[in-house]
Structure 1
Amino acid sequence: MLKNNIVKTVLRLFLGILVIITSAVLLILLFTEVVEVKNIQVMKWLPILICAIGFYFAGLINKITKFIFTLFLLTSLLFFILLDMLHFPFFFLIGFISVLSILSTRKELSKNIRISSLTLILVIFVGYLLSQPFIIKNKGYGTDMTGINLYNATVLWDFTTKPSRTLPKEFFKDYDENEVRFGDFKGKTIYVSFWATWCGPCMQQKPHLENLKQQLKDYTDIVFIDVSIDTDLEKWKNYLLSNEQVGHQLISQNIAKTHSNYQFSGIPYHIVIDSMGNFKQIAGPHALGYDSDLLSDSKRLTDFMNTPYKVFKINNIAGKDTIIRVR
């Protein structure tokens, strides 16, 4: 009898974990392939939504399982870490949301406690949902040479008050594994490229990037930093030994945190940081001299940092593209 109960408990827990992971896969596919939300990988509301739904149904499956055993369901959060969707300290919030979802299914708790748990989850979810831009990529989506202005996109909301963002206090490692942060170069204009040795488009951009560095080598107030998001430290080091690179070479210590801090999902990705410590996405070194002119002209850079992005719609009429400003 005891053995049968143990087997049933293990099966319920396993089924609960399967439900959580399945919920994650389905919701990720929904927002990446069907709705096509821009930068979905760094949307903090997504793991909150996934855990709220997944752990709620996993809790229902395990409502007769002892509560202390249901905490084993939290091991499914490792799946999110593998997807680079969680980082510390955000990981603790997701764990808290997951526990609240389980509590909301426990019949031994009062109705008020269960409702309060669900209400708190809803408040946290809505807060994060509205804190980040919600932009949907339509057919023909793209960006202009600045990398900022959008074509064929729908902005459901964006409550961002400043075009640029304040620099996060994140530490990276250099070749000798010393900790370095962008703030160490305060007062300089910093051009940052996020890349990886396994990224084909990054490799294609490398010659353009090195050319840009050469164009601006006499500007002592401009600093170039390449940040790798490789998971294999030795592979990154071997690449640097075989390929001489100008500028500071760093590697991320926490890829999910880097993605979240600088709001990007894919690479290559480039940002410019002004002397005040504000940063903004920039197109990249392939933009036919745009970046070099922007970096070397302080007034132009200031204007760029303070200019909000625009959204345009491209209509193809009689084989010709017509651009219409929509935001």
Structure 2
Amino acid sequence: MRRALVAVVVLFVVLAAGIATVWLGSRWIISVVTQKAGPAPVRRVGQAVPPFELADLQGRTWRLTDLKGKTAFVNVWATWCAPCRKELPHLQRLYERVKDRPDVVLLTMNVDEKVSEVQPFVAKNAYTFPVIPAHEYVRKTLTTTGIPRNWVIDAGGVWRFDEVGYRDGEDDWVANAERMIEEARTPQGAPTRPDQRTGT
């Protein structure tokens, strides 16, 4: 009888742990689209970007070291994220403007759990920017959540911008993105945006 009781308790603990894992995973996904446009609440500006080695949908392997010496604009998105879907056409426009620049690279990190759903979405919308399935990397990198998200990384692999969210009617989205890229090309310590200098 006692052994049976112990077995039941152990089974309950295992099931509870499994349920907690699933719930926490879903919580991360659900909370992803609740942020408004603006600087991320956790300050990453000035910090080194964690290294990565990830393959994009075309099979090309991307490493953080590949970006050394260049300014990188990285968009984090998902196919089921409504604000992301609104932002992506702007991102495509930006990509067309910077893709031939030797000093700038634009790529995206997709956080869909089902990678098989990403390629059809990209093809349907005729997006040509690089798409890297990066669910686990982004989940481990972000201590707070929120997408769409735009990172601007300088030539030394340091975050210069970490913007989260998208607002309707952002006709100047591309101009703002290009401004961030140009600011990130300047040495750290040069005049920049107030929210970067003060962390507010």
Sort the TM-score into its range (normalised by shorter chain).
0.7 to 0.9
Q: State the TM-score, normalized to the length of structure 1.
A: 0.47
2:179 corresponds to 1:293: yes
Query: Alpha-carbon deviation of 1:230?
Result: 1.1
Give 1:278 shift: 0.4
- Post-superposition shift, 1:78? 7.2
Which amino acid letter does the alignment assign opposite residue 162 of structure 2?
A: Q
What corresponds to 1:174 in structure 2?
A: 56
Deviation of 1:195 after TM superposition, in Å, equals 0.6
For residues 12 and 95 of structure 2, the distance between their equivalents in structure 1, rounded to whole angstroms, comes to 54
Aligned partners of 2:62, 2:122: CA distance in 1, in Å? 17
Contact 2:107 2:130 in 1 (8 A): yes
The Cα of 1:256 is off from its aligned counterpart by: 4.1
Which residue number in structure 1 is paired with residue 118 of structure 2?
Answer: 236
SS of structure 1 residue aligned to 2:186:
helix
Structure 2 residue runs without a partner (length 5+): 27-34
1:6 maps to: 3
Alpha-carbon shift at residue 179 of structure 1 (Å): 3.2
Q: Give distance in 2, aligned partners of 1:278 and 1:184.
A: 14
Q: Which residue of 1 aligns with 2:104?
A: 222
Distance 1:171 1:178 in 2: 10
Shift of 1:304: 4.2
Report the equivalent of 2:153.
Answer: 273
Structure richer in helix, relative to its length: 1
Aligned to 1:318: none
* Matched positions, count: 182
What letter corresponds to residue 80 of structure 1 in structure 2?
T
Residue 200 (structure 1) aligns with: 82
Deviation at residue 257 of structure 1 after TM alignment: 3.9
- Contact 1:163–1:307, Cα closer than 8 Å, also in 2: no
What is the identity, as a one-letter code, of the residue corresponding to 1:272? Answer: V
Larger radius of gyration between Structure 1 and Structure 2: 1
Q: CA deviation at 1:264?
A: 4.0
**Structure 2-normalised TM-score?**
0.73
The 5 Å alignment of 1:139-158 reads 144=38, 147-148=39-40
**Structure 1 residues 256 and 218, CA, compared in 2 at 3 Å: closer, same or farther?**
closer
CA separation of 1:169 and 1:272: change in aligned 2, threshold 3 A = same
The match for 2:199 among 301, 309, 315 is 309
- SS of the equivalent of 1:211 reads helix
1:68-87 CA deviation, whole Å, 9 max, x = no partner? xxxxxxxx2674266349xx
Query: Out of 242, 245, 267, which is 2:127 matched to?
Result: 245
Q: What letter matches 2:155 in structure 1?
A: S
| 1:22-33 paired onto structure 2 within 5 Å | none
Superposed CA offset, 1:204-237 (max 9, x none)? 1112222233344553311110111111122112
- AA paired with 1:309? G
AA in 1 matched with 2:197: T
Deviations 1:121-162 (A, max 9, x none): xxxxxxxxxxxxxxxxxxxx9664xx25x7xxxxxxx9x8x8
Equivalent pairs: percent with the same residue? 20
Q: Could you say what secondary structure the match of 1:299 adopts?
A: coil
CA distance in 2 between counterparts of 1:219 and 1:185 reads 13
